[in-house]
Chains A and B, each alone.
Chain A
Amino acid sequence: MNFLRNYPKRFFWRVYFIGLAVSLILDFVWLRSDVLHYHFPFQHLPEFFAIFGIFGCMLLILIAKGMGCFIVRDEDYYEKNQGDEE
């Protein structure tokens, strides 16, 4: 508990990496046994959800940033144009 209070960030990262390692190992172990029940063949790929999570997240940000080149405007976009007309 003292460790958590004194170094919350370090504690968080330790827990995080332990969780990460455990999830990777469990995936390998459970895929070979009969624990996980999936509906689609691609879900049986090793570490599918890890790959889906990290690449899904990064792709989302990168594609959105790419879209942003076309659709991002100044904060007062609509008000500004209105001002010109009045």
Chain B
Amino acid sequence: MTGWIHPGIVVFLGGFLIPFIKWRKIKLAYFLLLPVAGMTIVVLTSIGFFGSVPSWPEGLHKWRIPFLQYSLVLGKIDKMSMIFAYIYLIAAFCMNIYGLRVKNDWEHVAAMAYVGSALGAIFAGDFLTLFFFLEAMSWAPVFLLWFRGTKKSMGAGVRYALWHHFSGACILAGIVIHLHKTGSIELVHLPWGWGGEFVGYNLMLLGFIINSATTPFHSWLSDTYSEATPSGSIYMTAYTTKTAIYCLIRTFSGVPLLMWMGAIQAVFALFLAVLENDGRRLCSYHIISQIGYMVAGVGIGTEMAINGAISHALCHIIYNALLYMGAGCVLVVVGTAKFNELGGLYKYMPISFWLYMVGGFSISGFPLFNGFVSKVMTIEAAELIHNAPIYLLLEGATVGTFLHTGLKLPWNMWLQGKDEPPPNIRAKLKDSVVNTPVNMLIGMGILAFLCIFMGVYPKVLYDRLPYAVEFIPFTTTRVFSIMQMFIFTFMGFWLLRKLVLGYPTYTLDTDWPFRMAGRQLIQFCEEPLMAFANFVDEKVMNLVHSLIWFSRNPVFALHIKKEEAKLKMKRFIISPERAEKHKQVLEEKRRRYPGELPKLTLGASLVLILLVFSLYLILYLLIK
């Protein structure tokens, strides 16, 4: 534990101090400084202050902690964890600026715990540490959802927790099976295949796939991200899925199944995005689609593809946070992000619009924006393995991405042929061109600058990738083909622009069977199962009551029961008057019950006790 301080722990624990700082300005400064402190540690680490970082794939191991007979490694520092840490912290800083006006301190705490645990996961050198931080990561966003306080967000929080604890259980099961087999918890690349001996690995893969929102397990993402608080959702876009991609790269790179899943996911999410009406849900589908590129890159597994997956994950954090911020600031300013209620906002929020558009151009992969320099790596990797279907799916996803984030969303939110927004929206806007809070614009501005900077000067990214890169993104072929594609995508959009308007609808997703099954289960529990339980309960209680009644005076009780039986028998022979009289006597006896208790003689008591003992003996002998 010498020297090095874990940046994730600094951010994680540091966050819990925020609510205890009294002065607001100091509190905000402290909130902004947390990622800066983390960043300082990461920069010092990379310049070799804590010992030189060996070349990839070797790593520097810090913070070894003995646990049972194993050694936990909290700080495995290599090229891959370093580049993720850089981007995580830069993004966290911008997100903190964006979220400065949030009044609820505990929202900041949840966000910092989230960022801290994400950093913990990427520095983990063994499976147990990784699992611990993944679990911590699955809790923090639940609070970011719950702090919004609407009924929908409460439900979304529970669903988020359910999905992630299911995936956590899968990962843990995989880890335990792996540990049982190999006796080692070191974080290593795992074998993969079909069949009995790979059950544990497949479980772990399933866990990572759910965490990374790969189709068909993507629905939790669009379902929950759009329900979080405007600034909380920004954090959510960045960390969970990208950490899952990081885990996939570490453990399952080169699994062909992932290549196909990723490529299909990249296109599938876009179909659902066409039907979407909520700006933030639309961006969520784009996260899913972009994750498709990364998953496909991991699946292809060549050096170029892994580099592509990593750089795309990092660029994606930057531009997607920017997109979400753009949609989020509309939500903050006018209270809705639904397309059918918006339009014509350009006049009142032009700066947000242009900053959003930088994100839109980046995610589409326009040359000179950061999406381009990372996306083409994965596409090129697909070309180099000569897999035409994968190439076509990924290229097709580029078209769809530009259609939605570059055209549909800005068209519906900001432009839509009108010069003025609808009257109820207009009433919430000031007569100024700056309606967005300044801190939000600054956060967006820094991210937009990064999008362009990384796009114009990709060397800053490429130099830090694990595998040495000899890759020039700006070739005539690529720039020309992508530009021609976009020009004609625009024409397709313009011809069908009436079809992509927002309608107030909800699109079912792959979670429909789960939610319906869950609902049926609850309904089954609430109705038939509860009815059965009540029935059993009633019968048992009746029995108990009659036993209590009987034990108050067993002799008299037996007498009453005997009389009752007699009356029932006699009813048919004796005259009704006598029967009535008999009944009255019986009622009188019942009323007097338990009456005077009979007094047993000593001998009778002894006989009874002996009887019980002998019954017990017989029972004992029988069972034995």
Contact = CB atoms under 8 A, between A and B. Distances in A.
Contacts of B504: 75
Chain A interface main SS type: helix
Contacts of A85: 519, 523, 526
A80 to B, nearest CB: 10
Contacts of B395: 52
A62 to B, nearest CB: 8
Interface residues of A, number: 47
B523 A58 contact: no
Among A40, A42, A71: residue with most chain B CB under 10 A = A71
B487 A16 contact: yes
B489 A57 contact: yes
A36 B477 CA distance: 5
A23 B400 contact: no
A65 B495 contact: no
Interface string A18-61: 01100110110010000111111011000101111111111011
B406 to A, nearest CB: 11
Interface in B469-510: 475-477, 480-493, 495-496, 499-500, 504-509
Interface residues of B, number: 50
Interface stretch (B66-74, B116-124, B266-274): B266-274
Given A20-B487, A73-B505, A73-B506, A56 B274 contact: no
B480 A53 contact: no
Nearest to B494: A16
20 contacts: A23-B483, A36-B481, A49-B488, A50-B484, A52-B488, A53-B485, A54-B491, A55-B492, A56-B400, A57-B489, A60-B270, A60-B403, A61-B496, A62-B499, A63-B271, A64-B273, A64-B274, A68-B275, A72-B505, A81-B519
Q: Which are the 10 A-B pairs with shortest beta-carbon distances?
A: A57-B492, A53-B488, A64-B274, A53-B485, A39-B383, A54-B488, A56-B399, A71-B508, A23-B484, A64-B271
A67 B487 contact: no
Contacts, number: 143
Interface of B: 151-152, 270-275, 277, 383-384, 386, 388, 391, 395-396, 399-400, 403, 475-477, 480-493, 495-496, 499-500, 504-509, 515, 519, 523, 526
Given A39-B384, A42-B388, A53-B488, A23 B480 contact: yes
A25 to B, nearest CB: 11
B184 to A, nearest CB: 41
Contacts of A71: 275, 507-509
Interface in A2-16: 16
Nearest to B152: A79
A72 B483 CA distance: 33
A61 B500 contact: yes
Contacts of B400: 56-57, 60
Contacts of A64: 270-275
A69 B483 CA distance: 33
Contacts of A50: 484-485, 487-488
A38 B388 CA distance: 12
Contacts of B403: 57, 60-61
